[in-house]
Structure 1
C-alpha cells in the first residue's frame, strides 16, 4: 500500500507543480475574472461611452418624440439634429464625429420610416434601440389616427395573463428547473472537458514512461496494478484540485463584479445558491465515478502503446463514446423524459452524464438513481479488473502498431507474467 501512495503522490506532485498545470489554471481563473467583469473593464477603457447619432428629420416633428423614447428606455444613445445635407452628414460619420446618421421620413400612408447609415452596421444594440423607439412612435401615431387614447393603447399591448401550474406534486417549478438547467449544463461541460483533458494525461503519462524504458525499472519495484491505480487516483486528485480552484476563482470573480457594479451577482439573480444540496451531492458522485471509469480505460489503452505520438490513435474509441454521451445529454436537456435518453442513461459509458441530467431535470424515484449508480460502480470494478490485467501485460509490450487487438495479447502476457511471479 505504501508503494501505491508513493506512485499516487509522485503523480500528483509532479503534475501539480508542472508549468502546463500552473499556466492553464491561472489563465482560466484570469478569464473568469475578465468575463465576469467585462462591463466594468469596458467602462475603464472608455468602451461604454454614450453613442451619438445625427438625425435629419424630414417629418418636422419626430425627433423630440425619438429623444423622449430613447431616454425612457435608458439607452446609451444621444440623438441630435444635424443642419447639413445628407452627404455632409455622411462625411461626419466617416470622420468619426458621429456614430451614425438617421434620416426620418414618412411613407405614402403617412407612417414614419427611418433610414440608418453608419460606417459599420454590425452594432446591433444601437440599431435595436433605434428600431424599438421608432416602433413605439409609430404605434402611438397609428393609435391617434384611429382615435385611441394612451390608456386604450396600453391595454392593447398589455401582456396576456398566463399562469403555469404543475399537476404533479413532485414536478419542479420553473425557477427550480432554470437553476437545475444551469448546474447540469455546467457539470456536463466540465465533465466532458475534464475527461478529454485529464484522461489523455493518464495515457500520455504511461506512454512517456514506456517510451523512455522507465517502466522496465518501475515494474521491478512496484506492481503494474499499483502503478495504474496510483496514476489514476493521482490524476483524479489533480482534476479535483483544479476544479476547486476554478470554483473559488469563479466565486471571487462574481463577488468582485457585485462590489464594482453595485448590483446583484448572477448567483443571486439566478438563485444558484438555492440549488438543492442533494443535487450538488449527486453531481459530485457522478463526476467522480464517471471520471474514474474513463480514467481506467485511458490507463488501460495507454499501456498498449509504445510512443506518445500514438496516443491519439488508440484513444479514438473512448473519445467517440464521450462525444456521443455529451451530444445525447445536449439533446436530453430539452427532452429529459425521452425513452431513448432514459435507456441510454443505464449504459455505463453514458451514465455519468445522462443519469445526472435526468436526476436534475426530473423527479426520479430513488431506485432508478440507485440502479444507475450501482451499474456505474459495477462497470468501474469490471473495467478495473480487466484494465489491471491488460496494464500488467501491456507495459511489457513494445514496438507494436496501436490497435485494440493488442488487448488480447496483453491479457496473455499478463497471465504469463503472473505465473512467473507466483511460480505456478
Structure 2
C-alpha cells in the first residue's frame, strides 16, 4: 500500500473514533506513556481495531491489506459526515477485492461496473455457389454497449463489411473495396412511457422477409407496439409500425411500412405468424403486399420449422414488383435484387457445433415467375459464425 493511501486510511480511522470516550487500556503492549496510547485506545473503543488474541496490539507489525480492509469495513458502518464518507468511499474502492471477499457490498464499485463499456462481437466466414456465382466472403464486427446513467444507454458497432476472395480463387487477395466502418451508433432512453432508440440501428420486421436492414432515425416501443421513422440508404426514407401479440399457441405480428424510394411513395402491409404445433414443430407463415401506385404485388413464405433439428423448410412466392430490396433474403452472399419475381423451395439448417460457434446451411431451388430457373435451380450457401 502506498504511503499516501495509508495516511488517508489512518487519518480516517482516527476521525471516526475521535468522539469515543477513553477507557482502560485494552492492549498489554501499549503502555499509558506510549506516544500512540490515546489513538490506539480510541480506535479500540470505537471497534475499529481489536488487536490479537493474546491481548496485544503489535503496533510494530506491518499491516496487511486484509487487516486494513477490516478497518475500512468497520468505518463503512459508522455515521459519517460528508468529508469522512468521501474518504471511506475512496478507501473502499482501493480495498474492494478484500471487502467483497469478506461479503461486504461496495456500492460505488457496483455503479462503476454498471457504467463500464461491454465489448462483444462476431466473425463469419461464408461460401456460396450457383450457376452465376462461386464466392467466399468474411466479416468481423465488434459491439460496444454501455450505460451512461440509469435512463440512458448507448450502442455502437464497427464492421469490416463483407470482404471477399476474388471469384476464381486464383489468389488470396481480399477485395479491398470494403473498409472498417461504424454501421450502428445509437442511444436508448425511456420517455413518455416509451423506450426510444435514436441513431443508426438495425430494424427487423417479423422474420425479416419484409424488412431486415438498418435505418438512421428513431424507433419507439410501448408494450407490443413498435413505431419507427428514419432514413435508409442514400435518400430513401421509411416510417411505419409493427404490432405483436400472442393468441393461444400462435405468435402474430402485423406491419405497416411506407418507403419513400427516389421520391416514389410505396405502401407495404404485412403479417407474420408462428404456430407451435408441438414442442418440436412450428408452422410459419409470412405475407406482405406492396403498392407503389402503379404496381400491386404480393409476397408470401410458408412452411415448417423443426425446432430440435434446427431445420426450416419454406416455400417462397414473390410476385413481380413485390421483391423488397430490404428483405433478409438480400443478405445472402448472392442476392436476388435483380429478379422481379421468383418462387421455390428454401431449406435452412442451423446448428451449434461448439461453444459460441454455429453452422448455417441454406439451399434454394428458385425459378422466375415465368418458370425460368435461377442459377440452374440450385443455390447453396454455408456459413460458420463465431461469437465472442
User: Taking structure 2 as the reference length, what is the TM-score of the superposition?
Assistant: 0.23
Higher fraction of strand? 2
Higher helix share: 1
Q: Which has the higher contact order (CA 8 A, sep 6+)?
A: 1
Q: Which protein shows a greater Rg?
A: 2
Normalising by the residue count of structure 1, what TM-score does the alignment of the two structures yield? 0.22
